[in-house]
Amino acid sequence: MQKLIIIDDEAAGRTLIRQYLEAYPTLIVVGEANNGVDAVRLINEFKPDLIFLDVQMPGLSGFDVLTHLQEIPQIIFSTAYDEYALQAFEVHAVDYLLKPYTRGRFAQAIQRVIDSRTGNLQKLQPFAESLLTTAAAYPEKILVQTGNRLITVAVSDILRIEAEGDYATLVTGTGRHLSNYGIGALETRLNPQQFIRVHRSDMVNLHYIREIQKYPSSYDIIMTNGDVVRVSRSYMDKIRQLTF
Protein backbone atom coordinates (compact mmCIF):
# COMPACT_ATOMS: atom_id res chain seq x y z
CA MET A 1 0.00 0.00 0.00
CA GLN A 2 1.29 3.43 -0.95
CA LYS A 3 -0.02 6.71 0.48
CA LEU A 4 -0.59 9.64 -1.86
CA ILE A 5 -1.90 13.20 -1.75
CA ILE A 6 -3.59 15.09 -4.59
CA ILE A 7 -2.80 18.81 -4.84
CA ASP A 8 -4.68 20.83 -7.46
CA ASP A 9 -6.53 24.14 -7.20
CA GLU A 10 -9.29 22.86 -9.52
CA ALA A 11 -11.86 20.41 -8.14
CA ALA A 12 -12.26 18.84 -11.58
CA GLY A 13 -8.55 18.07 -11.70
CA ARG A 14 -8.63 16.35 -8.31
CA THR A 15 -11.74 14.35 -9.29
CA LEU A 16 -10.14 13.11 -12.51
CA ILE A 17 -7.07 11.85 -10.66
CA ARG A 18 -9.28 10.04 -8.14
CA GLN A 19 -11.23 8.39 -10.96
CA TYR A 20 -8.07 7.21 -12.72
CA LEU A 21 -6.67 5.92 -9.40
CA GLU A 22 -9.59 3.51 -9.04
CA ALA A 23 -7.60 1.11 -11.23
CA TYR A 24 -4.78 1.07 -8.64
CA PRO A 25 -6.15 -0.24 -5.32
CA THR A 26 -2.71 -0.24 -3.69
CA LEU A 27 -2.50 3.56 -4.06
CA ILE A 28 -4.47 5.12 -1.19
CA VAL A 29 -5.43 8.80 -1.21
CA VAL A 30 -4.88 10.17 2.31
CA GLY A 31 -5.57 13.83 1.56
CA GLU A 32 -6.32 16.56 -0.95
CA ALA A 33 -5.39 20.24 -1.09
CA ASN A 34 -6.42 23.09 -3.36
CA ASN A 35 -3.60 25.47 -2.43
CA GLY A 36 0.10 25.36 -1.65
CA VAL A 37 -0.15 26.26 2.04
CA ASP A 38 -2.54 23.40 2.84
CA ALA A 39 -0.41 21.11 0.69
CA VAL A 40 2.64 21.72 2.88
CA ARG A 41 0.65 20.99 6.03
CA LEU A 42 -0.82 17.74 4.65
CA ILE A 43 2.44 16.41 3.22
CA ASN A 44 4.39 17.11 6.40
CA GLU A 45 1.63 15.51 8.47
CA PHE A 46 0.95 12.34 6.44
CA LYS A 47 4.38 11.88 4.77
CA PRO A 48 2.96 10.28 1.60
CA ASP A 49 4.94 8.10 -0.78
CA LEU A 50 3.66 9.99 -3.84
CA ILE A 51 2.02 13.34 -4.57
CA PHE A 52 0.20 14.66 -7.62
CA LEU A 53 1.22 18.31 -7.68
CA ASP A 54 -0.17 21.27 -9.61
CA VAL A 55 2.20 24.17 -10.38
CA GLN A 56 0.23 27.41 -10.26
CA MET A 57 -1.84 27.58 -7.08
CA PRO A 58 -2.92 30.15 -4.47
CA GLY A 59 -0.53 30.73 -1.57
CA LEU A 60 2.50 28.81 -2.80
CA SER A 61 3.40 27.42 -6.21
CA GLY A 62 4.09 23.72 -6.59
CA PHE A 63 7.83 24.41 -6.59
CA ASP A 64 7.50 26.61 -3.49
CA VAL A 65 5.72 23.75 -1.73
CA LEU A 66 8.78 21.51 -2.20
CA THR A 67 11.05 23.96 -0.39
CA HIS A 68 8.86 23.78 2.74
CA LEU A 69 8.71 20.00 3.11
CA GLN A 70 10.38 18.01 5.85
CA GLU A 71 10.62 14.96 3.56
CA ILE A 72 10.04 15.08 -0.19
CA PRO A 73 8.15 12.15 -1.72
CA GLN A 74 7.98 11.06 -5.34
CA ILE A 75 6.23 13.65 -7.47
CA ILE A 76 4.03 13.56 -10.54
CA PHE A 77 3.29 17.07 -11.72
CA SER A 78 -0.23 17.53 -13.10
CA THR A 79 -0.69 20.95 -14.68
CA ALA A 80 -2.00 22.89 -17.66
CA TYR A 81 1.27 24.75 -18.12
CA ASP A 82 3.95 23.15 -20.28
CA GLU A 83 6.60 25.83 -19.63
CA TYR A 84 7.46 24.30 -16.24
CA ALA A 85 8.34 20.83 -17.56
CA LEU A 86 12.12 21.37 -17.59
CA GLN A 87 12.07 22.78 -14.06
CA ALA A 88 9.97 19.80 -12.92
CA PHE A 89 12.56 17.29 -14.09
CA GLU A 90 15.36 19.37 -12.61
CA VAL A 91 13.82 18.51 -9.22
CA HIS A 92 13.63 14.86 -10.29
CA ALA A 93 9.89 14.56 -10.81
CA VAL A 94 8.82 11.07 -11.86
CA ASP A 95 6.57 12.45 -14.59
CA TYR A 96 4.87 15.59 -15.89
CA LEU A 97 1.22 15.24 -16.90
CA LEU A 98 0.07 18.05 -19.17
CA LYS A 99 -3.67 18.70 -18.90
CA PRO A 100 -5.86 17.46 -20.45
CA TYR A 101 -4.36 13.96 -20.32
CA THR A 102 -5.89 10.58 -21.07
CA ARG A 103 -6.28 7.52 -18.88
CA GLY A 104 -3.54 5.90 -20.95
CA ARG A 105 -1.11 8.75 -20.31
CA PHE A 106 -1.97 8.59 -16.60
CA ALA A 107 -1.17 4.86 -16.63
CA GLN A 108 2.24 5.61 -18.11
CA ALA A 109 2.99 7.98 -15.21
CA ILE A 110 2.00 5.35 -12.65
CA GLN A 111 4.18 2.80 -14.43
CA ARG A 112 7.11 5.19 -14.14
CA VAL A 113 6.52 5.31 -10.38
CA ILE A 114 6.52 1.50 -10.26
CA ASP A 115 9.64 1.27 -12.42
CA SER A 116 11.51 3.76 -10.27
CA ARG A 117 10.81 1.62 -7.20
CA THR A 118 11.83 -1.65 -8.83
CA GLY A 119 15.10 -0.27 -10.14
CA ASN A 120 14.19 -0.25 -13.84
CA LEU A 121 14.75 3.49 -13.93
CA GLN A 122 17.88 5.20 -12.71
CA LYS A 123 17.42 5.70 -8.96
CA LEU A 124 15.98 9.11 -8.17
CA GLN A 125 18.22 11.46 -6.20
CA PRO A 126 16.69 12.99 -3.09
CA PHE A 127 14.59 15.96 -4.18
CA ALA A 128 15.87 17.97 -1.23
CA GLU A 129 19.43 17.77 -2.53
CA SER A 130 18.61 19.61 -5.74
CA LEU A 131 16.39 22.10 -3.97
CA LEU A 132 19.06 23.00 -1.46
CA THR A 133 21.57 23.77 -4.20
CA THR A 134 19.32 26.51 -5.55
CA ALA A 135 17.56 27.68 -2.40
CA ALA A 136 18.70 30.78 -0.58
CA ALA A 137 20.96 30.22 2.42
CA TYR A 138 18.25 31.72 4.64
CA PRO A 139 14.48 31.61 4.02
CA GLU A 140 12.72 34.63 2.56
CA LYS A 141 9.30 33.33 3.64
CA ILE A 142 8.22 31.02 6.43
CA LEU A 143 4.99 29.25 7.32
CA VAL A 144 3.22 29.83 10.63
CA GLN A 145 0.02 28.32 11.95
CA THR A 146 -3.11 30.39 12.43
CA GLY A 147 -5.96 28.28 13.76
CA ASN A 148 -6.11 25.24 11.50
CA ARG A 149 -4.35 26.99 8.61
CA LEU A 150 -0.75 27.68 7.67
CA ILE A 151 -0.01 31.14 6.32
CA THR A 152 3.13 32.63 4.82
CA VAL A 153 5.05 35.41 6.54
CA ALA A 154 7.80 37.27 4.72
CA VAL A 155 10.93 37.22 6.88
CA SER A 156 11.61 40.83 5.88
CA ASP A 157 8.31 41.81 7.56
CA ILE A 158 9.32 40.46 10.97
CA LEU A 159 10.24 43.34 13.30
CA ARG A 160 11.26 41.23 16.26
CA ILE A 161 10.85 37.80 17.87
CA GLU A 162 10.01 37.13 21.49
CA ALA A 163 10.14 33.83 23.36
CA GLU A 164 6.87 32.17 24.40
CA GLY A 165 7.94 29.16 26.45
CA ASP A 166 9.00 26.47 23.99
CA TYR A 167 7.68 28.56 21.10
CA ALA A 168 8.23 32.09 19.82
CA THR A 169 6.05 34.98 18.69
CA LEU A 170 6.90 36.75 15.44
CA VAL A 171 5.97 40.43 15.62
CA THR A 172 5.22 42.07 12.26
CA GLY A 173 3.79 45.43 11.34
CA THR A 174 0.35 43.88 10.94
CA GLY A 175 0.14 41.41 13.80
CA ARG A 176 1.67 38.65 15.90
CA HIS A 177 2.19 35.05 14.81
CA LEU A 178 3.11 32.04 16.95
CA SER A 179 5.93 29.93 15.54
CA ASN A 180 6.31 26.22 16.28
CA TYR A 181 10.04 26.85 16.80
CA GLY A 182 11.63 28.25 19.92
CA ILE A 183 13.69 31.43 19.80
CA GLY A 184 16.97 29.46 19.90
CA ALA A 185 16.01 27.42 16.84
CA LEU A 186 14.93 30.54 14.96
CA GLU A 187 18.25 32.19 15.77
CA THR A 188 20.05 29.43 13.86
CA ARG A 189 17.65 29.55 10.90
CA LEU A 190 17.48 33.29 10.23
CA ASN A 191 20.13 35.51 8.70
CA PRO A 192 22.44 36.76 11.49
CA GLN A 193 23.21 39.84 9.39
CA GLN A 194 19.57 40.81 9.77
CA PHE A 195 18.44 39.33 13.11
CA ILE A 196 20.41 39.61 16.35
CA ARG A 197 19.67 38.14 19.76
CA VAL A 198 19.62 40.87 22.41
CA HIS A 199 18.09 38.97 25.31
CA ARG A 200 17.38 35.34 26.15
CA SER A 201 13.77 36.18 25.28
CA ASP A 202 14.21 38.62 22.39
CA MET A 203 15.64 38.95 18.89
CA VAL A 204 15.33 42.08 16.75
CA ASN A 205 15.47 42.83 13.04
CA LEU A 206 18.18 45.44 12.55
CA HIS A 207 16.21 47.01 9.69
CA TYR A 208 13.47 48.06 12.13
CA ILE A 209 15.57 49.63 14.90
CA ARG A 210 14.69 53.31 15.18
CA GLU A 211 17.15 54.18 17.93
CA ILE A 212 19.04 52.75 20.90
CA GLN A 213 18.95 54.46 24.28
CA LYS A 214 22.16 53.95 26.21
CA TYR A 215 22.28 53.77 30.00
CA PRO A 216 25.29 53.21 32.30
CA SER A 217 24.74 49.45 32.45
CA SER A 218 22.14 48.66 29.80
CA TYR A 219 20.59 49.55 26.44
CA ASP A 220 16.98 49.93 25.37
CA ILE A 221 16.19 49.34 21.69
CA ILE A 222 13.31 51.40 20.30
CA MET A 223 11.73 49.68 17.33
CA THR A 224 9.99 51.52 14.48
CA ASN A 225 6.60 50.38 15.80
CA GLY A 226 7.35 51.86 19.23
CA ASP A 227 8.18 48.60 21.01
CA VAL A 228 10.96 48.85 23.58
CA VAL A 229 13.31 45.88 23.87
CA ARG A 230 15.78 45.68 26.74
CA VAL A 231 19.29 44.41 25.91
CA SER A 232 20.53 42.09 28.63
CA ARG A 233 24.09 42.32 29.94
CA SER A 234 25.20 39.10 28.24
CA TYR A 235 24.22 40.45 24.81
CA MET A 236 25.47 44.04 25.13
CA ASP A 237 28.66 43.23 23.20
CA LYS A 238 26.55 42.54 20.11
CA ILE A 239 25.31 46.12 20.20
CA ARG A 240 28.79 47.48 20.80
CA GLN A 241 30.06 45.61 17.76
CA LEU A 242 27.55 47.45 15.62
CA THR A 243 28.70 50.86 16.89
CA PHE A 244 31.13 52.77 14.68
| Residue-range domain boundaries for the chain | 2-134, 141-241
Report pLDDT for 128. 37
Report pLDDT for 42. 95
Q: How far apart are CA 119 and CA 143, in angstroms?
A: 36
What kind of architecture, by CATH, is found in domain 141-241? Beta Barrel (2.40)
Report pLDDT for 202. 96
Please, what CATH class does the domain formed by 2-134 belong to? alpha beta
DSSP string, the chain: -EEEEEE-SSHHHHHHHHHHHTT-TTEEEEEEESSHHHHHHHHHHH--SEEEE-SS-SSS-HHHHHHT-SS--EEEEEES-GGGHHHHHHTT-SEEEESS--HHHHHHHHHHHHHHHHTSSPPPPPHHHHHHHHS-SS-SEEEEEETTEEEEEEGGGEEEEEEETTEEEEEESS-EEEESS-HHHHHHHS-TTTEEEEETTEEEEGGGEEEEEEETTEEEEEETTS-EEEEPGGGHHHHHHT--
pLDDT digits (tens, 9 = 90+) for 63-78: 889 888 888 889 999 9
| Residue ranges, the chain, pLDDT below 70 | 86, 89-91, 118-137, 147-150
Report pLDDT for 150. 67
Angle between helices 11-21 and 103-118 (to 10 degrees): 60
Supply the pTM of this predicted model. 0.52
- For the chain, the distance separating the N- and C-terminal CA atoms, rounded to the nearest angstrom, is 63
Report pLDDT for 90. 64
